[in-house]
Chain A
Amino acid sequence: MSAREAILRALASPIQADAAALAREAAMLLAGNERPPLAAESVTEAFLANLSLPSIGATHDRIASMEQLPDAVARYLAGQGEPARLYLPPDPRLDACDWSAVERLPTVPMDGGAALAIAVAAVAETGSLVLDTATTAPMLPNFLALHHLIAIERARLVRWLEDVPLPSPPGPRQRTWVTGVSGTTDIEGQYVRGAHGPRFLHVVLIG
């Protein structure tokens, strides 16, 4: 008997419900599930309030349209005393912007630097930003950079984690919810930012 058969045989009792019955029961278990209160009535305000919590510690900027993104990026880097250069993913929406004031790096340097990503959604409940891998969006630069910049269109803000649209199959290889920076409490429970990846998170809200 294979390991698969042995495990499934050991689990055969009680008689396993068929797929449709199982799906019904599972959906019922989740109906009207309890959710924590939002930090504010407006989705945008609740999202921004969460970003500024000490546990997330993100800064943010608001711009009217994608065209203003290079200015917002340059402004942030200058404010941090960082050189005006960063990694940008090969996204056509970014290619359409004028990056003449900022140097576009092909990779994130090993010792830090900055990287930008465009989120597919953001969540008011937790202040999370949702990143998907795609041919135009690698994942690794988000974790190599010391300064993590994420742009998000305001129309893509949702109230609860459940409201983030699920990709249709096969979907991206990896979806990551970013709710802060790379931190650790592994030495005596004390919180340190910038454990392996980003120490700073800066969100640019578009629209």
Chain B
Amino acid sequence: MSSFTDRADGALADRQLKIAIERTTGTAQAKRAVAVAAFPDFEAARARAAAIKDHVVANLGAYLEQFEASATAAGTQVHWARTADEACAIVIDICRAAEARSVARSKSMLGEEIGLPHALAEAGIGRVETDLAEHIIQLADERPSHIVWPALHKTREQVSELFRRHHRTPHEGEEIAAMAESARRHLREAMLAADVGISGANFLIADTGAAVTVTNEGNAELSLVPPRVHIVTAGIEKIVPSTGHAIHLLRMLARSATGAALTQYTSFFAGPRRAGEIDGPQEMHVVLIDNGRTRMREEGLAEMLRCIRCGACMNHCVVFRQIGGHAYGGTYPGPMGAVLTPALDGLTANRDLPNACTMNGKCQEVCPVDIPLPTLLRGWREKSWREGLEPTATRSGINAWNRMIASPRLYRLMSAMGARALRTVSRGGWISRLPLAGGWTRHRDLPRPPAGGTFLDQWAKRRR
């Protein structure tokens, strides 16, 4: 068994996890549905959002140079990094030059992708995670399990216990509001005392040089305004041509992520404190990071670079909702993660991810930039087959299946026998165990096939 199947197995057996996932993704689905229904042109807006992103990805070189020029004119220092290691080294160098003892970090999935928390720890720089969910998983010493709700796998009971253990003056009651209040007390001083603030960017605006962040907690502003230095780490695909394009995508992002018309705080950061201004950092840096994106653009994954990290695909994924985010093993979980992780971390170790998909198409349906996720997943399956990464048992099984379905007579004979056999092993209308398919039935039950023969038999009878 591969490590993915091990992890999925563990996740399926964890009842607490199932409850936690269901509580958050269920709410997210319902809220998104209401928000999309209230925007009658949502489908057309979605096609336009995809076209905007495709235009940027096709002209990414020109836009990056334009962004660099505008940001530099606003007083921002722009850095370029080919790899995760290069990006982390740039950030650490800036922190060291600022003699930083502590950094306040505003949640960024790119920061997770490049391993920034680990790099800061190795450099001996203290790190305060200021997003409430990131704070929870920092206390638990875990990784995010969702790109919008990183602590989605935690139940309120687990959060309560963590806060009681780590906060100086923890909450008394067991209400969620009391827990949030405890975190507010705990985090505020740490945020204000940080030497450097680090954020990601939801968008980088080419013609103004601004970096855009959206948060509903206001933690980006609290952790980016007081420190002496603000560092933005952003993937090169985050560029948009103008503020107007950012507005169009922000409408899609908020509705798809949380079901709001707009996130509570949307900030445009353009350079260091101006002469005479009362607050804000003395230095602003933007690190433009490739980390595999130019390769994805060349190798058939350009559409994946449309992604604006809303999380709708995972909220609506039947697989994610069963196993949660950690089982995927990479930085990004769910359907978008199953496409990205093989590109970022290699297909050989992650060939199970594209297979953990039912191809129901729900992810593409809810994607605000219409990424053909099922097609991209199928692309990874084909590559895995071509490169011979599938284990021998799988290959011979698929070859045998291939021979069987190539002959209609053989297929009919085998499926008729199969349906009869399934009826004999069912108990009370359900099949909960199958010889040779224990891996499949351990966490699943099959309904008993109906009497009256196979679909083809019944179809033939009806036509007569």
CA distance A18 to B63 in the complex (A): 10
- Please tell me if B48 contacts chain A, counting CB pairs below 8 Å: yes
Interface positions of B from 178 to 226, Cβ below 8 Å from A: 179-181, 183-184, 187-189, 191, 208, 210, 216-219, 221-222, 225-226
Say which residue of A3, A16, A126 sits within 8 Å of B261 (CB atoms).
Answer: A126
Report whether A186 and B181 are in contact in the complex, using a CB–CB cutoff of 8 Å: no
Given contacts A11-B294, A16-B59, contact A29 B156 (CB under 8 A): no
Nearest chain B CB to A181 CB, angstrom units = 7
Which residues of the partner chain A approach B40 to less than 8 Å between Cβ atoms?
37
Does A134 interact with chain B (Cβ within 8 Å)?
A: yes
Find chain A residues with CB under 8 A from B26 CB.
Answer: 189
Report the nearest A residue to B68, measured CB to CB. A4
Contact B217 A182 (CB under 8 A): yes
Query: What 0/1 pattern do residues 120 to 152 of A give for CB contact below 8 A with B?
Result: 000001101000011101111011100000000
**Closest Cβ of chain A: how far from B63's Cβ, in Å?**
8
When the two chains form their complex, are residues A183 and B216 in contact, meaning their CB atoms are under 8 A apart?
yes
**Which residues on the B side are within 8 Å of A195 (C-beta)?**
132, 180, 183-184, 216-219
B27 adjacent to A189 (CB under 8 Å):
yes
Partner of A126, one of B20, B262, B269: B262
Complex: chain B residue closest to A128, CB-CB:
B262
Q: Does chain B have a CB within 8 A of A176? A: yes
Chain A residues positioned under 8 Å from B38 (CB to CB): 36-37
B62, B210, B221, B245: the one within 8 Å of A143 (CB): B221
Given A126-B261, A177-B265, A179-B266, also A10-B277 (CB < 8 A): no
Q: Measured between C-beta atoms, what is the minimum distance from B157 to chain A in Å?
A: 10
Chain B 74-91 against A: per-residue CB contact (8 Å), 1 yes, 0 no? 110000111000100000
The chain B residue with its CB closest to the CB of A7 is B290
Question: Is B180 touching A184 in the complex (CB atoms < 8 A)?
Answer: yes
Chain B binder among A19-27, A60-68, A71-79, A92-100: A19-27
Q: Give 1 or 0 for each of A40-61: 1 = CB within 8 Å of chain B CB.
A: 0000000000100001000000
Main secondary structure of the interface of A (DSSP, over half): loop
Q: For residue A166, which residues in chain B have a CB less than 8 angstroms away from its CB?
A: 208, 243
B4 contacts the other chain (CB 8 A): no
Beta-carbon contact of B180 and A187 below 8 Å: yes
Query: What chain B residues lie within 8 Å of A7 (beta carbons)?
Result: 61, 64, 80, 82, 236, 288, 290, 294
CB atoms of A143 and B225 under 8 A apart: yes
Contact A29 B52 (CB under 8 A): yes
Please report the C-alpha to C-alpha distance between residue A30 and residue B243 in the assembled complex, in whole angstroms. 11
**Interface contact B176-A192, CB-CB below 8 Å:** yes
Given A30-B244, A135-B276, A172-B274: A187 touches B268 (CB 8 Å cut-off):
no
Contacting residues, chain A, for B251 (C-beta < 8 A): 35-36, 161
Cβ B176 vs Cβ A188 within 8 A: yes
For chain B, residues 88 to 143, give those with C-beta under 8 angstroms from any C-beta of chain A.
130-133, 136
Shortest C-beta distance, A61 to chain B (Å), equals 21
For window 143-192 of chain B, which residues contact chain A by CB distance below 8 Å?
149-152, 154-156, 159, 176-177, 179-181, 183-184, 187-189, 191
**Nearest-CB residue, chain A, relative to B246:** A161
Q: Is the CB of B66 within 8 A of A19?
A: yes
Please determine whether A186 and B136 come into contact, CB atoms closer than 8 angstroms. Answer: yes
State whether A178 and B261 are in contact (beta carbons under 8 Å apart), knowing that A29-B55, A184-B180, A196-B130 are contacts in the complex.
Answer: no
Q: How far is the CA of A187 from the CA of B41 in the complex (A)?
A: 32
Whole-angstrom distance between the alpha carbons of A112 and B169 in the complex?
17
Collect the chain A residues with CB atoms within 8 Å of residue B222's CB.
Answer: 140, 143-144, 196-197
Judging by beta carbons under 8 Å apart, are B294 and A133 in contact?
no
Residues of B within 8 A of A135 (CB): 274, 276-278
Q: A140 contacts B225, CB within 8 Å? A: yes
B62 touches A185 (CB 8 A): no
**A183, B225: Cβ atoms under 8 Å?**
no
Selected A-B contacts with CB under 8 Å, 17 pairs: A7-B82, A12-B61, A26-B52, A26-B245, A55-B261, A126-B262, A133-B277, A138-B278, A143-B222, A169-B73, A169-B208, A179-B264, A182-B265, A189-B25, A192-B177, A195-B217, A195-B218
Which residue numbers of B lie inside 8 Å of A, CB to CB?
Answer: 20, 23-28, 38-42, 44-45, 48, 51-52, 55, 58-66, 73-75, 80-82, 86, 130-133, 136, 149-152, 154-156, 159, 176-177, 179-181, 183-184, 187-189, 191, 208, 210, 216-219, 221-222, 225-226, 236, 241-245, 247-248, 250-251, 258, 260-274, 276-280, 288, 290, 294-295, 297-298
Interchain residue pairs A-B with the least CB separation, the first 5 = A11-B61, A34-B41, A10-B294, A189-B24, A138-B278
Other 15 A-B pairs with CB < 8 A, given A126-B261, A172-B270, A179-B264: A3-B80, A3-B86, A30-B48, A30-B244, A138-B277, A144-B222, A174-B225, A174-B268, A178-B264, A179-B261, A182-B264, A189-B26, A189-B27, A194-B181, A196-B191
